[in-house]
Chains A and B, each alone.
Chain A
Amino acid sequence: MRPLLELRNVTKCFGGLVAVNNVDLQIEPGRIASVIGPNGAGKTTIFNTITGIYRPDAGTIRFDGQNIAGKRPDQITAAGMCRTFQNIRLFHNMTVLENVLVGAHTQTPSTLWGAMLRTRSFQRAEEKARQEAIRLLRYVGLPAGLGDQLAKNLPYGQQRRIEIARALAANPKLILLDEPTAGMNPQETEAAIRLFRRLRDELGVTVVLIEHDMKVVMGISEYVTVIDYGQKIAEGTTAEVRKNQRVIEAYLGRSAPSEQGPVGEGS
């Protein structure tokens, strides 16, 4: 099958530091894939490079048949890829609903003149976006009636969900989730995993996660890519990766076993 997202020889440097070194990555459509690796391995940098926040120093990134390396983040989002952030970056002083509506920016066809003149089509577009936003909030499991709250007043777990709803509002083919269960308790994590599955099963969205929590990774990933020191050191199914010697070394050799445990010990 032709991959939906394909990175080839992608390199990103900051000054002398090579944060991402010659990484290849293929994500097939309809998959739930994970990118894992120790802290500081370069996972988030890969995400930032894919989504256009950073521009790769070398390599190509193809998404849905077009080259997106060097495009602006908003263009990449418009092409059908959206993301969440490791440290939640909601618009704190906007309401929950407005947050999701900003996510729908590329999907709302209203124009400046439409907004000024309040044309029929403008009103229709706004109303449609509103309904869709409300539907998405419900979909990610947010209690009804929270739409008018300021985003920053909600608890952490709900903020994570809003971020996912906001990303979904862009109608993505691929959604990138950067440590989406960080800071969640086991129940919340479980619910989150169910949600990620539903995104793929019901909405047909390809899901790529960066995860630390091995329970999450092993629980839902169909394909795992392991990054260390900015390089891909292993990839494959969870079972394959679990047995990989380099992966075990990368985790055991760097962080204390008590912190995370070697891959696979989590479950």
Chain B
Amino acid sequence: MSVARHSQLSPLQRLLQGTPGLWIVLAVAAGASYGFVQSPRSLPVRLLLIFSLLLIYFMPQKGWIKLLYGGGMLLIVLPYLGLFNPFLMELGFQIAAFATLAIGLNIVVGFAGLLDLGYVAFFAVGAYLWAFFGSQQLWHTDEAPGTFTIFATFPFPAWWFWIFLGVGVVGAAFTGVLLGFPVLRLRGDYLAIVTLGFGEVIRVMANNLDKPINLTNGPQGITPIQRPPIPSFFTSPEFLEQLGQLAGRPVGLNDLYGFFFYFMAVAILVLAIFLALRLDNSKLGRAWTAIREDDVAAVAMGVPLRRTKLAAFAIGASFSGAMGVLYAANRTFVSPETFSLTVSISILVMVILGGLGSIAGVVLGAAIVTMLNIDILQTLSLQLSSLRQGSGTIPLLGIPWASLPTQLDPARYQRLFFGLLLIVMMIFRPEGIIPSQRRRLELHEEPAQEPLAAQLEGELEPDHKLES
């Protein structure tokens, strides 16, 4: 697959070839960084920063150069810039977090071809695991929500976070298997609906498990959830002062946590990418592709259908579980609302937008959708509301901004954008922005043996239902 990348360069890639290319990318990155220092709150500058990362991915250079550039941006430049505007770290955290989720979902949907619409459930499992044990909820299991006070101590000390990172992985993987078992034999579209139902079940349970035993504190959610302790070296006044001098403003514990969660999320993301790539190029990865392509042939070649599908569910879920634990610690608060169907779908949008089965595509998709969600739409909303407070009129229409109803808030119309994206992608580019080599071929030509396969599938069903 890597052969194709070198043989056919896009115009952009040709521009970025050789030594001039190195300088061009460096110039863009430096320009974006300089722009950020000058105006830390500007949305276009943030977009330029993301764009420079994309350029690094696309530039046709040796692997270690790209790694050097990318690593330098992610680990040094972005955190440095984060000193000037902490929102950058929040944005980075969210993108990395959702990219990890998208990679996990990609294993299920992209690799194994099982459309899972309730993926957010695994995220919820991870988040609620740490929320329950990392807060004081354990002491309030026999009390109704909202009736208790917060004590000074927690049942588990904060460093248990590290253990729960592992517990989250295992818990989510277990839930994945639990979901996988009953739905294994379902055909693709039924599977989608059932997993969607499963996601809703988890959410409804989170909403209602405040009785008979108060596990989730119901719709009010659980708070405060502990954050892992930061080594005292970083929290020392001297260190903070030095950082403050660098930033030109006082730097506190919250900023430190901003950096901490950013680095954590990036680390987990890198690990996830690494594992996903390795799995894709292994026996298991081939088995996933094989069952996606033709499950009858796959099973006839000795691929155990059940175990292979369960592995996809479990591994996909485990990424999500780890991120859930991290997310709960980051927010210090979880509530059922965080785990709605919209989140599942937005993760699906990331995967589809970027390219089913393509790791790089999925990360890009996560960056785009997350930017849209928490940055671009929010910025538009803010600007709209400031316009609304002014006395100007809408150009061309002549209606005063102030007369626009507050309901017309771009940030509330995520579903509109997601829906549109899904339809447009499916019709015009089902293989995504950065397609995996395989998908590009697959989605544009109908497999020759589809009708026959479908026929045999129909014949096969009764027996597959009987066994196991």
Contact = CB atoms under 8 A, between A and B. Distances in A.
Interface of A: 14, 51, 53-55, 70, 72-75, 77-78, 82-83, 85, 87-94, 98, 101-103, 105-106, 108, 110, 112, 115-116, 118, 122, 126, 129, 148, 150, 152, 166-167, 169-170
Given A74-B304, A94-B289, A116-B278, 7 more contacts: A14-B459, A53-B463, A70-B467, A89-B294, A102-B290, A106-B302, A110-B283
Interface stretch (B60-68, B193-201, B393-401, B440-448): B440-448
Interface string B1-42: 001000000000000000000000000000000000000000
B441 A116 contact: no
Interface of B: 3, 275, 278-279, 282-287, 289-290, 293-294, 296-305, 311, 438-439, 441-442, 447-449, 452-453, 459-460, 462-463, 466-468
A152 B300 contact: no
A101 B462 CA distance: 29
Contacts, number: 123
A200 to B, nearest CB: 21
A129 B467 CA distance: 31
A93 B441 contact: yes
Contacts of A82: 300-302
B300 A72 contact: no
Contact of A90 (B297, B303, B439): B297
A78 B460 contact: no
Nearest to B298: A102
A175 to B, nearest CB: 12
Given A93-B293, A116-B278, A87 B460 contact: no
B289 A91 contact: yes
Contact of B300 (A51, A88, A112): A51
B166 to A, nearest CB: 15
A88 B301 contact: no
A83 to B, nearest CB: 6
Q: Which 5 A-B pairs have the closest CB atoms?
A: A77-B302, A115-B282, A106-B302, A89-B297, A91-B293
B174 to A, nearest CB: 15
Contacts of B298: 91, 102
Contact of A74 (B279, B283, B299, B459): B299
B301 A150 contact: no
Nearest to A169: B301
A112 B278 CA distance: 10
B313 to A, nearest CB: 14
Nearest to A72: B467
A105 B303 contact: yes
A19 to B, nearest CB: 10
A108 B283 contact: yes
30 contacts: A14-B462, A53-B296, A55-B463, A55-B466, A72-B305, A72-B468, A73-B299, A82-B300, A83-B300, A87-B452, A89-B296, A89-B449, A92-B442, A92-B448, A102-B286, A103-B301, A103-B302, A105-B283, A115-B284, A116-B275, A116-B278, A122-B282, A126-B283, A150-B438, A150-B441, A152-B441, A152-B448, A166-B301, A169-B301, A170-B301
A54 B463 contact: yes
A102 B284 contact: no
Contacts of B311: 112
Nearest to A90: B297
Contacts of A94: 286, 289-290, 293, 438
A98 B447 contact: no
